[in-house]
Amino acid sequence: MKTNKNVPTLHEQLNLRADQSIELLKALHIVTRDDKINQDSRRKLKQVNHLLQFMQPLIEATLAERGKISVVDHGSGKSYLGFMLYDRFLKSLDKPHAVYGIETRDELVTRARELAREAKFEGMTFLNVSAANALDASEIPDAVDVVTALHACDTATDDAISFAIAKRAKYVVLVPCCQAEVAAFFRDDKGTALAKNSLTELWKHPIQAREFGAQITNVLRGLRLEASGYKVTVTELVGWEHSMKNELIIAEFKNLPRAKGQAKLNDVIDTFGLGALAGRFLSQNTSSAQNV
């Protein structure tokens, strides 16, 4: 039987580089044993590939500057991002590099450790700890280069930001997931703090409270990073047909003046009557040191 030379290879179908491991994707259950991929896995793979494209210049800049890199992945889950990052950028490099996966589900941590051993990815470490408690993990160095979180649920993204600021991370790359705290505040408070201000119409109905709460949360996250000396860029990760949680926040520590970002942050909190939640967005924003 003749082979159709026009049929794209699996690497081409999945938008992978030639040296990326299909066996690794099988171990991650993204690709089946018979080289098939279901639609849910294709969406996840597309999200990870797009995020890696955004991260590539940051990784290359860090390697050029320091000769090595450390990446901390908060809410790592099945560690698709960490494994594909290591496989794509780090496995062939001579110097030691470190990728840390932060995850609270013990079974996922155990499986990730097993897979790292099988793949001989010696620079990968997986910790069974929450994002909020990761600062106390002795396995992670005092300073790291990149902090990332892909769809880390609820307040884990905010904890990742706290971690990045405290660890003096040069780059922060976030794709926030659900965060119901502000939405719940809007829903339960019913705008009491703003009395009869017409702004409360923005979250009058539950669906509006949820969506507007998520929007304000991400605005506050960006301002918090600006108030900590970071230059912040916000864009979309992939097309909306692939994920409804699609906002991408990229921050680079530039040691910029903090006052303007802090003033904007305070103003947004005051404008929307979010003083009761200010602690989450105003804490640990005094870092001034460059990554070392």
CATH code, 168: 3.40.50.150
User: Please, which residues have CB within 8 angstroms of residue 131's CB and are 6 or more apart in sequence?
Assistant: 74, 75, 102, 149, 152, 156, 159, 160, 163
Residue 253 maps to a domain:
no
Binned at pLDDT 50, 70 and 90, residue 190 comes out as low
Cα angle 217, 179, 128; round to 5: 120
Residue 225 located in a structural domain: no
> Range of 41's domain?
18-177
Bridge partner list, 73: 101, 148
Q: Supply the pLDDT for residue 7.
A: 67
**What integer best gives the mean pLDDT of the chain?**
85
> What is the rounded CA–CA span in Å between residue 19 and residue 21?
6
Q: What is the pLDDT of residue 233?
A: 96
> Residue 194 has what pLDDT?
67
Burial (CB count <10 Å: 0-12, 13-18, 19+), residue 20 = middle
In a domain, 184, yes or no: no
pLDDT at 5: 60
Interval 132-159 mean pLDDT: 90
Kindly indicate the confidence band of residue 239, based on its pLDDT and cuts at 50, 70 and 90: low
Please check whether residue 258 lies inside any domain of the structure.
no
Phi/psi at 124 (5° precision): -100, 130
Specify the pLDDT at position 200.
83
User: Considering its fold, how many domains does the chain have in total?
Assistant: 1
The pLDDT assigned to 4 comes to 56
The larger pLDDT score, comparing residue 141 to residue 155, is at 141
Question: How sure is the predictor about 288, in pLDDT bands with cuts at 50, 70 and 90?
Answer: very low
Tell me the two tokens of residue 18.
Answer: 């030639």
The model's confidence at residue 243, banded by pLDDT at 50, 70 and 90, is: very low
* pLDDT value of residue 189: 63
In the chain, % of residues over pLDDT 70: 89
Question: Does the residue 92 lie in any domain?
Answer: yes
pLDDT of 43 reads 81
267 pLDDT above the threshold of 60: yes
Q: Is the pLDDT of residue 289 over 70?
A: no
Strand order in the sheet with 98-103: 124-128, 98-103, 70-74, 146-150, 171-175, 247-253, 230-236
**pLDDT for residue 281:** 82
Residue 292: pLDDT band (50, 70, 90) is very low
In a domain, 90, yes or no: yes
Residue 153 pLDDT > 80, yes or no?
Answer: no
Flag whether 246 is in a domain. no
- Give residue-wise pLDDT tens across range 215-230: 999 999 999 999 999 9
For residues 160-185, give the mean pLDDT: 90
Q: What is the pLDDT of residue 287?
A: 38
- The model carries a pTM of 0.87
Does some domain include residue 243? Answer: no
Over 70: is that where the pLDDT of 15 sits? Answer: yes
